[in-house]
Amino acid sequence: MNYASLIESLKKYDFSFFIAAFAIFFIGIINLYSATHASESLAMSNLYKIQLMWFAISLSVAIGVSFIRMKNLFSYSYFIYGFNIILLILVLVLGKKGMGAQRWLVLGALRVQPSELMKISVILALAKWFSRRHLIGELGLKELILPAMIAIFPALLIIAEPDLGTGLLILLIFSMIAFYRRLKWKTMAIIAIIVLASGSVMYKFGLKDYQRRRIVTFLNPGDDARGSGYNAIQSKIAIGSGQFLGKGFKKSSQASLQYLPENHTDFIFSIFNEEHGFFGSIVLICLYFILFYRFIWLSTSVTRVYDSVVTMGLMSIFFWHTFINMGMVMGLMPIVGLPLPFMSYGGSSLMTFMVCCGIATSISNSRNLF
């Protein structure tokens, strides 16, 4: 590849995803610093440095991913999926306990969270299935059985870890892909009824105690203000006390005085709201929307069904994370441990989101290759 062609390919390279990601991450890292700087423990107050390191690593991985040809990804889709399933089973068998749940797989010095990777793997597998040539018109129940299996099996494995949030997320991703892939409205109605019915049965028998408590708490947080409703109330106080312009950078009292647990991961949005208020949140939400819109635009700008479905799947990862996390911290939804993309602390999730951007970039680039 000579110099001119490098320039040429750089010109065709779609930086938009990385730019949007970086913009949000920039706000995120500043916010993370603010949330943790007052902590008594050195490990906490140095968290932002680790997050920066993770960003550097995941950015380089994502750039690497952006050069992977979609054709290759297509052909390895099932393989990646299968490999990921094996990892999930391994986690269940010999996973390391963290936060009362088995989510990690320790490979030497590396801690891998296969459920994170599964979010992408399941999209790839679903996209491959949905891009079969005979699926032209709207889809019915019959065409949905196998892809549903593809999604439900890993979802169950993840729920068994137990990580209800990510498990449900896989199902939500699947449902959005199915919707996008032109599922009949009638079929959707039937599925909705089935899900609601089984959901209520699940609530009664399938949930762990603390999970059920979270749902009860969500419905009535004042019930146990110091117990399981604590996070929900403190989070709302944090957000509300930000008012229109916020208390200002590094001035969150809820976080610095440790009223809000997990304020650097799941509840980072509360701190952001406390410090930057309504105005700051509007800016952040606009950035997210720009990112999402870019995905949605890309999904119909490609020529291959596989690419289109993958793009929309990736969008759904971002969308569900963002929506659920925001809804949860402001008391619209029960508390489920899902991180806010590029804002929450956490190497695994950051890697996932960056890789998503890398795949999207690759798809966008391949659009211009012809």
Partner 1 sequence: MFGEEDIVKAHKHRADLINNLVLIAFAIIVARLWYLQVYKGEAFRRYSYENRLRKDPIMAPRGMIFSRNNQLIVHNTPRFDARIIPQYLDKDKSKKKQTISRLAKILNINQKEIENKLRKEGRGQARYIPIVIKKNLSRKEVAIIETEGSLMPGVDVNDFISREYTDEYIGAHLLGYISKVFKNEIKKFQKGKSELEFIGRAGVEKEFDDKLRGESGFEYVEVDAFGRKHRSISNDNLLVGIKNKLQEPGNNIRLTIDRDLQIAAFKALEGKVGSIVAIDVNNGEILSMVSRPSYNPSNFSRQLTSEYWQSLVQDKNNPLRDRAIQEHYAPGSTFKTFTAIAALEEGLIDEKTEIHCPGYFRLGRRKFHCWKKWGHGKVDIYKAISESCDVFFYKIGVKLGIDVLAKYARLFGFGSRTGISLPRETRGLIPTKEWKKKKNGREWQLGETLSCVIGQSYVLVTPLQLTLAYAAIANGGTLLKPRIIKEIFSNSGEIIKKNKLEITADNILKSDISRIIKKGLFRVTNTPKGTAWWYRGWGINMAGKTGTSQVIRLSSDKIFSRCEDAEYRFRHHGIFAAYAPADDPKIAVGVVIEHGCHGSSAAAPVASAVIAKYMDKYYPERRKKFIQEDRRMMAKFRAAREKAKAKAEAKAKAEAKAKAEAKAKNDSANKIKPN
Residue with smaller CB distance to partner 1, 17 or 54 = 17
Min dist CB 8 to partner 1, Å, is 24
- With contact defined as beta carbons under 8 Å apart, do 35 and 252 qualify? yes
Min dist CB 67 to partner 1, Å, is 23
Cα–Cα distance between 350 and 339 in angstroms, integer?
9
Cα–Cα distance between 92 and 103 in angstroms, integer?
8
- What residues does 97 pair with on adjacent strands? 102
Residue with smaller CB distance to partner 1, 50 or 296 = 296
DSSP 134: T
Three-class HEC string of 250-290 = CCCHHHHCCCCCCCCCCCHHHHHHHHHHHHHHHHHHHHHHH
Provide the strand spans (E) within 123-181: none
Residue with smaller CB distance to partner 1, 53 or 332 = 332
Nearest 5 degrees, angle CA 249-CA 253-CA 259? 135
Min dist CB 288 to partner 1, Å, is 8
Residue with smaller CB distance to partner 1, 172 or 357 = 172
Residue with smaller CB distance to partner 1, 199 or 227 = 227
Min dist CB 129 to partner 1, Å, is 14
Burial 296-316 (b: 16+ CB within 10 A, else e): eebbeebebbbbbbbbbbbbb
Token pair 């950078």 in the structure block, residue = 249
Which residues make up the interface to partner 1 (CB under 8 A)? Answer: 38, 40-41, 136, 176, 179-182, 226-227, 230, 234, 236-244, 247-248, 251, 253-254, 256-261, 273-274, 277-278, 281-282, 285, 288-289, 292-293, 296, 299-300, 302-305, 308, 312, 315, 319, 323, 326-327, 330-332
Min dist CB 237 to partner 1, Å, is 5
Residue with smaller CB distance to partner 1, 67 or 289 = 289
The secondary structure element, H or E, covering residue 292 is helix 268-299
Min dist CB 4 to partner 1, Å, is 30
Length of the chain: 370
Residue with smaller CB distance to partner 1, 114 or 246 = 246
Min dist CB 10 to partner 1, Å, is 27
Residue 251's alpha-carbon distances to 248, 272, 282, in angstroms, are 5, 10, 19
